[in-house]
Structure 1
Amino acid sequence: MGHSKKQHKGSAGERFSSAGFILAAIGSAVGLGNMWKFPYITGQNGGAAFFLIFLAFLAIIGLPVLLAELTIGRGGRGDAAASFRNLSNRPFWHSIGLLLVLGSFFILTFYSVVAGWTIHYAVQSLGGELYRSADYGAVFERFTGGAMPVVWLVVVLAGTCWIVMRGVSGGIEKFNNVVIPGLFILLLLLMGYALTLPGAGAGIRFFLKPEFSELTVQSVLMALGQAFFSLSVGSGAMMTYGSYTDQRQSLGGAAIAIGSGNALYALMAGLIIFPTTFSFGIEPASGPGLVFIALPAAFSSMPFGSLFGGLFFVLLAIAALTSAVSLLEVPVAYAMNRWGRTRGKTAVAVTAACFAVALPCALSAGGVWSGVKAGGRTIFEWVDFITSNIMLPAGGLIITVFAGYVWDQAGKEAGLTAVWYRLWIVTLRYIAPVLILLIFLYSTGII
Structure 2
Amino acid sequence: MQNHSSGPSSVQGNSTLNPEQERFSSSGFILTAIGSAVGLGNMWKFPYITGKYGGAAFFLLFILCLLVVGLPVLLAELTIGRGGRGNASTSFTRLSKSGPWGKLGFLSIICAFLILSFYSVVAGWTIHYAVISFSNVLFQDTDYTHRFTSFAAGGMPVLWQVVVMFLTGVVVARGVSGGIEKFNKVLIPGMLILLVILMVRALTLPGAMAGVQFFLKPDFSKLTTDSVLVALGHAFFSMSLGMGTMITYGSYVERRQSLGQAASAVGFGDLLYALVAGLIIFPTSFAFGIEPSQGAGLVFMALPAAFSAMPLGNLFGGLFFTLLTVAAMTSTVGLLEVPVAYVMDKWGWSRKKATLWTTVLCCLVGIPSALSIGGVLGDYTIAGKSIFDFMDFVASNILLPLGGLIVTLFTGYVWKKAGDEANLSHPVFRVWIFVVRYIAPVLVVLIFLYSSGLIHVE
- TM (normalized to structure 2)? 0.95
Q: 1:292 deviation in Å? A: 1.1
The aligned counterpart of 1:134 is 142
Asked if 1:409 corresponds to 2:417, the answer is yes
Whether the 8 Å CA contact 2:44–2:295 is kept in 1: the answer is no
CA distance in 1, matches of 2:214, 2:443: 28
Q: Secondary structure at the match of 1:395?
A: helix
1:208 to 202, 209, 216: 216
Whether the 8 Å CA contact 2:44–2:281 is kept in 1: the answer is no
Q: 1:6 deviation in Å? A: 5.3
CA distance in 1, matches of 2:351, 2:96: 27
Asked if 1:5 corresponds to 2:15, the answer is yes
1:192 to 200, 217, 222: 200
Q: 1:207 deviation in Å? A: 1.1
The aligned counterpart of 2:366 is 358
Whether the 8 Å CA contact 1:14–1:244 is kept in 2: the answer is yes
2:306 to 285, 289, 298: 298
Whether the 8 Å CA contact 2:38–2:327 is kept in 1: the answer is yes
- Per-residue CA deviations over 1:304-327 (Å, capped at 9, x if unaligned) read 111111100000000000000000
The aligned counterpart of 2:269 is 261
Q: Secondary structure at the match of 1:353?
A: helix
CA distance in 2, matches of 1:446, 1:6: 44
Q: Secondary structure at the match of 1:292?
A: helix
In terms of mean alpha carbon deviation, does 406-415 or 127-136 score higher?
127-136
Q: Structure 2: 5+ residue runs without aligned partners?
A: 1-9
The aligned counterpart of 2:405 is 397
CA distance in 2, matches of 1:446, 1:321: 33
Asked if 1:145 corresponds to 2:128, the answer is no
Q: Name the amino acid aligned to 2:232.
A: L
Identity %: 62
The aligned counterpart of 1:66 is 74
CA distance in 2, matches of 1:175, 1:3: 31
Matches within 5 A, 1:327-406: 327-406=335-414
The aligned counterpart of 2:230 is 222
CA distance in 1, matches of 2:439, 2:54: 26
The aligned counterpart of 1:182 is 190
The aligned counterpart of 1:123 is 131
Asked if 1:248 corresponds to 2:261, the answer is no
Whether the 8 Å CA contact 2:118–2:388 is kept in 1: the answer is yes
CA distance in 1, matches of 2:53, 2:127: 29
Q: 1:383 deviation in Å? A: 0.4
Asked if 1:91 corresponds to 2:99, the answer is yes
CA distance in 1, matches of 2:49, 2:127: 23
In terms of mean alpha carbon deviation, does 373-382 or 310-319 score higher?
373-382
CA distance in 2, matches of 1:432, 1:376: 32
CA distance in 2, matches of 1:6, 1:396: 27
1:433 to 434, 437, 441: 441
The aligned counterpart of 1:311 is 319
Q: 1:154 deviation in Å? A: 0.6
Whether the 8 Å CA contact 1:107–1:384 is kept in 2: the answer is yes
Q: Secondary structure at the match of 2:381?
A: coil
2:430 to 416, 422, 426: 422
Whether the 8 Å CA contact 1:7–1:13 is kept in 2: the answer is no
Q: Secondary structure at the match of 2:100?
A: helix
Q: 1:288 deviation in Å? A: 3.2
Q: 1:3 deviation in Å? A: 5.7
Q: 1:120 deviation in Å? A: 0.6
Q: Name the amino acid aligned to 1:70.
A: L
CA distance in 2, matches of 1:120, 1:400: 39
- Per-residue CA deviations over 1:189-225 (Å, capped at 9, x if unaligned) read 1101110000011111111111111223222211110
Asked if 1:24 corresponds to 2:32, the answer is yes
Q: Structure 1: 5+ residue runs without aligned partners?
A: none
- Per-residue CA deviations over 1:205-252 (Å, capped at 9, x if unaligned) read 111111111223222211110110000111110011000010000000
List, as ranges, runs of 4+ consecutive aligned residues in structure 1 with deviation greater than 3 Å.
1-8
Q: 1:287 deviation in Å? A: 3.2
CA distance in 2, matches of 1:330, 1:265: 24
Q: Name the amino acid aligned to 1:221.
A: L
Whether the 8 Å CA contact 1:16–1:245 is kept in 2: the answer is yes
Q: 1:375 deviation in Å? A: 2.5
Q: 1:37 deviation in Å? A: 2.0
Q: Secondary structure at the match of 2:289?
A: coil
- Per-residue CA deviations over 1:390-443 (Å, capped at 9, x if unaligned) read 000001000011111100111111011111111001100111011111111111
In terms of mean alpha carbon deviation, does 244-253 or 304-313 score higher?
304-313
Q: 1:446 deviation in Å? A: 1.2
Q: 1:13 deviation in Å? A: 2.8
CA distance in 1, matches of 2:295, 2:55: 14
CA RMSD of aligned residues (A): 1.2
CA distance in 2, matches of 1:212, 1:128: 43
- Per-residue CA deviations over 1:33-72 (Å, capped at 9, x if unaligned) read 2113222222332422222211111111100000000000
Matches within 5 A, 1:156-171: 156-171=164-179
CA distance in 2, matches of 1:254, 1:34: 20
Whether the 8 Å CA contact 2:124–2:160 is kept in 1: the answer is yes
CA distance in 1, matches of 2:404, 2:16: 23
- TM (normalized to structure 1)? 0.98
The aligned counterpart of 1:172 is 180
Q: Secondary structure at the match of 1:197?
A: coil
Q: 1:15 deviation in Å? A: 0.5
1:47 to 32, 38, 55: 55
Q: Secondary structure at the match of 2:383?
A: coil
Q: 1:330 deviation in Å? A: 0.4
CA distance in 2, matches of 1:399, 1:12: 26
Q: Secondary structure at the match of 1:445?
A: coil
Q: Secondary structure at the match of 2:392?
A: helix
CA distance in 1, matches of 2:187, 2:114: 25
Q: Secondary structure at the match of 1:391?
A: helix
Whether the 8 Å CA contact 1:40–1:288 is kept in 2: the answer is no
- Per-residue CA deviations over 1:120-153 (Å, capped at 9, x if unaligned) read 1111111111112222111110010011101100
